């Protein structure tokens, strides 16, 4: 499993980005040129391979949970 790493945000043309270490790419099962799905969650961003069925499932699940965040908060207090 890839270890946690501190990444720097760098200028890439008119945009900004981060460079993922080789170990993280291998952990995700992706290589240069492949797409990742980046899903924002509170305080973080989740990256999953874009061309995988799991990527779609994770993206949909995170979107659903974010959409129903208030209901989850209420349930957690019971």
pLDDT in tens, 5-57: 899 999 999 999 999 999 999 999 998 889 888 888 788 888 888 876 777 78
pTM tops 0.85, yes or no: no
pLDDT in tens, 66-76: 888 888 888 88
HSE-up of residue 53 (Cα within 13 Å, Cβ side)? 0
So what's the pLDDT on residue 75? 85
So what's the pLDDT on residue 42? 82
Q: Could you tell me the sign of the dihedral formed by the alpha carbons of 58, 25, 17, 33, in that order?
A: negative
């Amino acid at each position: 499993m890839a270890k946690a790493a501190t990444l720097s945000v760098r200028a890439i043309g008119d945009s900004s980005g981060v460079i993922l270490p080789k170990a993280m790419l291998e952990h995700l099962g992706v290589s240069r040129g492949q797409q990742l799905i980046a899903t924002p969650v509170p305080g973080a961003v989740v990256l999953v391979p874009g061309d995988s069925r799991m990527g779609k499932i994770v993206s949909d699940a995170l979107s659903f949970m974010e959409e129903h965040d208030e209901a989850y908060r209420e349930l957690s207090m019971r």
